[in-house]
A and B are shown apart, each in its own frame.
Chain A
């Protein structure tokens, strides 16, 4: 007992929900406090989670060419820069990453790969009608991550200013 906590690498995961925006405020605060490196991560749900293209043989419409993961990645990166990077101010030591896969699996894989000491993410996520994927990301990351996890719940009247810039 009595040892001080050291966090060198902090991972902030966003799904662009109100909870995630509030989690960003905490992530930035802790990053500054511990002079850590901040990783900003968004996981794009896979177009073909089973590894095979969807069966469109019974439809007239072929798979949309706009379903291009690289285009989506570029759009996400732009959104992350607009939403979060502009709010980093003097926090120079950061990295932005966009991955594809099941969010819980990819967040944990990322945490192992980059020796993350703490993961901060939104607790609730987007409202059900807006969801792209229905897995219990925050709960699973909290249980299975190799490091500390903070899941932030944002009361409706406490959405941070950064959220309004979207």
Chain B
């Protein structure tokens, strides 16, 4: 401090300034263990020195895949990134990270300084604004298309009534029912995606939910010439999930798969497979797999962005946003396999630990790796 430094600043050391900063400032060693954390960080996470960052900030035993600290350790450069961290109370917080290396005299990285700024509010506002801005255009566009479909159905029924042709009337009624189903689905997805719902957990059978979803789409699949196959493991126990949400998730994934098959003009025969099975001893999964034309990198990148759709007038782009939200609200995960020209597989993984009849401690757990018990290559 110089002689001209104002009195209030005279008492501040650099460490105090860093402690007072309203952002997280930490220093991590090469093993990703905290060497230092400022007061703001300690207020939220406690004394973390010596602990791994991914354990403290992620509640995970595994290193993060896209970690700017590891990048800085590797190339000695400044990196930025966005991460979702888990506060000790369980709340998630989105942060933007900046990492910069600390070098020794030989130029080797000995540690990395990480700054993390909370951008949760900005992210939420950003999503809300996008949603608001696009909702009106989307609604009018989609409802217009569906109304045209309804008018077509009404016209067919009118003609049939005039001619007393019951066969034609039945066809027209099918068109009307299809469009009513569409408008119901669109409206429910918009309602679901426009507010944060807490899942209402109740004991449900994953197999039953999957079977109901398959049954719901059997007629549609049949009319499109698509085989809809279910492969459901009856051994799956009851789990505590929001049954209505899981049904919506499965409906959206199956609907997407059927639409993808319709769009694929290369192959003439298609099949969609719906599976419900164990993922491992502590998790179960649903898989919806199609043999349509797959997705390229651009589609994959935008897959969970609201209103991004590859279906043109036939899609709102909300189906996967809703699916993602449902999976997140259940603490689950979505995995996607896809290949252009081959098809796509959507896998959703959920914990069995909410299984009411068989608590976690009764299930087999893994302590160490045993080559006699590797994972399966079915």
A32 within 8 A of B: no
Are A133 and B376 neighbours in the complex by a CB distance under 8 Å? yes
Q: How far is the CA of A130 from the CA of B371 in the complex (A)?
A: 10
- Chain B residue total in the interface (Cβ 8 A): 46
Say yes or no for A164: interface residue by CB 8 A criterion. no
Mask, A102-116, CB within 8 Å of B = 1, is 111100100000000
Task: Kindly identify, within residues 103 to 158 of chain A, every residue whose CB is under 8 Å from any CB belonging to chain B.
Answer: 103-105, 108, 121-126, 128, 130-140, 143-146, 151
Assess the A134–B377 pair: CB atoms within 8 A.
Answer: no
Q: Is the CB of B376 within 8 A of A125?
A: yes
Q: Who on chain B is nearest to A51 by CB?
A: B333
Q: How many residues of A contact B (CB 8 A)?
A: 67
A139 with B378: CB separation less than 8 A: yes
From 67 to 97 in chain A, residues with beta carbon under 8 angstroms from any chain B beta carbon are 67-69, 71-72, 75-76, 79, 83
Interface residues of A in 30-48 (CB under 8 A from B): 42-48
Residues of the B chain whose Cβ atoms lie less than 8 Å from the Cβ of A55:
351, 353-354, 360
B277 at the interface (CB under 8 A from A): yes
Q: Could you tell me if B335 and A50 are in contact, using CB atoms closer than 8 angstroms?
A: no
Cβ B342 vs Cβ A52 within 8 A = no
Q: Do the beta carbons of B61 and A69 come within 8 Å of each other?
A: yes
Closest chain A CB from B117 CB (angstroms): 22
* B282 & A15 in contact (Cβ 8 Å cutoff): no
Q: How far is the CA of A66 from the CA of B100 in the complex (A)?
A: 33
* Interface hits, B341-370 → A, CB 8 Å: 342-343, 345, 347, 349-351, 353-354, 359-361, 365-369
Cross-chain contact of B353 among A45, A54, A76, A136 (Cβ < 8 A): A54
A124 contacts B282, C-beta separation under 8 Å:
no
19 A–B contacts, CB within 8 A, in A order: A15-B377, A43-B375, A50-B283, A51-B333, A54-B360, A59-B361, A64-B365, A66-B367, A72-B368, A79-B371, A102-B347, A125-B378, A126-B376, A130-B372, A134-B378, A135-B347, A137-B376, A140-B337, A166-B371
